[in-house]
């Protein structure tokens, strides 16, 4: 199948492109400024802020994976312009050139009433896809980890460099991390699973883990002993406010602190039964690439 991928140069995008190639698909990788340098991949320039460029990039494609997203706003990219309006532009471009299937990477916790702008704009993006008239699958993912991620790699760096591990808040917030290979396998499988149509599917790992337990597993994998140093949320919120005013993107935002407090878990029955993917444990996932 001929498949285009937006956000192809990002963490998930790079891994998904490789999985699609392994599964025998013809891949067109969209880029904003730097092409993805992979054999057997066609690169086309396109921006989610420019419907015309997207339509040109999507020409001849049967399916589009839309992965572009934001964790923190920049001076030129906002949740509304990049996530919500950007997805509307993707939908319009798909309509113009007759793309048959649109697959969107969303997030667990997405809701019109969510406490964070991140999750509210993800919901608006989902609604644009659902109302598009195009066949779709929406993937709501938990925290994704693997080689080159922005989660475990950050924690690994802190554990290796510091004599203690900083923990914001209680550390009791619950996550359901999914290994990148399981996530991309599930996403690619949808292209061949004809019965998977107009569905929302949660993508998450097999375990619900408290953040403190996640730290313990990473430390054990690295064979490093580190004490935890707890930083109250009440101290971090004013700091995040100042960082948001001074820096774009801010290294820490109030939205991110709110997300830390929220559970990030979901039922993965559809992932297992519809896509045939049984995700591996967090510990086993780490062992595949960490030494």
Q: So where are the chain's domains? A: 2-148+178-206+265-280
**Mean pLDDT score of the chain:** 93
The helix (run of H) or strand (run of E) holding residue 203 is strand 199-203
Q: Who has greater pLDDT, 57 or 77?
A: 57
How many residues belong to the chain? 291
**Lowest-confidence pick of 67-81, 100-114, 170-184:** 67-81
* DSSP secondary structure letters along 111-157: -TT-SSHHHHHHHHHHHHHHTTSSEEEEEEE--EESTT-SSHHHHHH
- The radius of gyration of the chain's CA atoms, rounded to the nearest angstrom, is 19
pLDDT-derived band at 98 (thresholds 50, 70, 90) equals very high
User: For the segment 180-189, what is each residue's pLDDT rounded down to a tens digit?
Assistant: 999 999 999 9
Contacts of 94 (CB under 8 A, 6+ apart): 58, 64, 102, 132, 134
Q: Who has greater pLDDT, 36 or 9?
A: 9
pLDDT of 236 above 80: yes
User: For the segment 123-148, what is each residue's pLDDT rounded down to a tens digit?
Assistant: 999 999 999 999 999 999 999 999 99
Average pLDDT over residues 99-124: 95
Place of tokens 């309006």: 85
pLDDT-derived band at 195 (thresholds 50, 70, 90) equals confident
pLDDT at 259: 85
Q: At what angle do helices 254-261 and 117-130 cross, to 10 degrees?
A: 80
pLDDT of 154 above 80: yes
Show the tokens assigned to 80. 């509304």
Q: Who has greater pLDDT, 100 or 258?
A: 100
Q: Who has greater pLDDT, 251 or 94?
A: 94
In CATH terms, the fold of domain 2-148+178-206+265-280 is Rossmann fold (3.40.50)
* Beta-bridge partner residues of 44: 30
Portion of the chain with pLDDT greater than 70, in percent: 100
pLDDT-derived band at 109 (thresholds 50, 70, 90) equals very high
- Contact indicator for 2, 28 with CB cutoff of 8 Å: yes
**Lowest-confidence pick of 52-66, 88-102, 197-211, 261-275:** 261-275
* Beta-bridge partner residues of 141: 107, 203
pLDDT-derived band at 38 (thresholds 50, 70, 90) equals confident
pLDDT at 70: 87
pLDDT at 184: 98
pLDDT at 14: 94
**Lowest-confidence pick of 119-123, 165-169, 172-176, 193-197:** 193-197
**From CA 51, how far away is CA 45, in angstroms rounded?**
12
pLDDT-derived band at 73 (thresholds 50, 70, 90) equals confident
Q: Who has greater pLDDT, 35 or 119?
A: 119
pLDDT-derived band at 167 (thresholds 50, 70, 90) equals very high
């Amino acid at each position: 199948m001929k498949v285009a991928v937006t956000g192809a140069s990002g963490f998930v995008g790079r891994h998904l492109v490789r999985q699609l190639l392994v599964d025998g698909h013809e891949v067109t990788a969209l880029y904003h400024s730097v092409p993805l340098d992979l054999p057997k991949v066609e690169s086309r320039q396109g921006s989610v802020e420019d419907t015309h460029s997207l339509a040109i990039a999507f020409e001849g494609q049967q399916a589009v994976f839309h992965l572009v997203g934001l964790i923190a706003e920049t001076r030129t990219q906002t949740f509304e312009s990049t996530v919500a309006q950007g997805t509307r532009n993707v939908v319009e471009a798909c309509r113009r050139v007759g793309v048959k299937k649109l697959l969107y990477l969303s997030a667990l916790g997405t809701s019109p009433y969510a406490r964070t702008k991140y999750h509210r704009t993800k919901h608006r993006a989902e609604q644009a896809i659902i109302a598009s008239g195009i066949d779709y699958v929406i993937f709501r993912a938990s925290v994704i980890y693997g080689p080159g991620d922005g989660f475990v790699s950050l924690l690994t760096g802190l554990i290796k460099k510091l004599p203690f591990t900083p923990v914001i808040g209680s550390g009791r917030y619950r996550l359901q991390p999914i290994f990148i290979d399981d996530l991309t396998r599930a996403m690619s499988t949808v292209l061949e699973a004809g019965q998977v149509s107009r569905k929302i599917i949660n993508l998450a790992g097999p375990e619900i883990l408290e953040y403190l337990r996640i730290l313990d597993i990473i430390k054990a994998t690295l064979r490093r002993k580190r004490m935890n140093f707890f930083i109250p949320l009440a101290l971090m919120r004013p700091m995040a406010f100042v960082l948001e005013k001074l820096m774009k993107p801010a290294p820490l935002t109030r939205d991110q602190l709110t997300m830390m407090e929220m559970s990030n878990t979901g039922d993965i029955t559809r992932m297992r039964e519809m896509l045939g993917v049984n995700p591996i444990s967090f510990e086993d996932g780490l062992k595949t690439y960490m030494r």
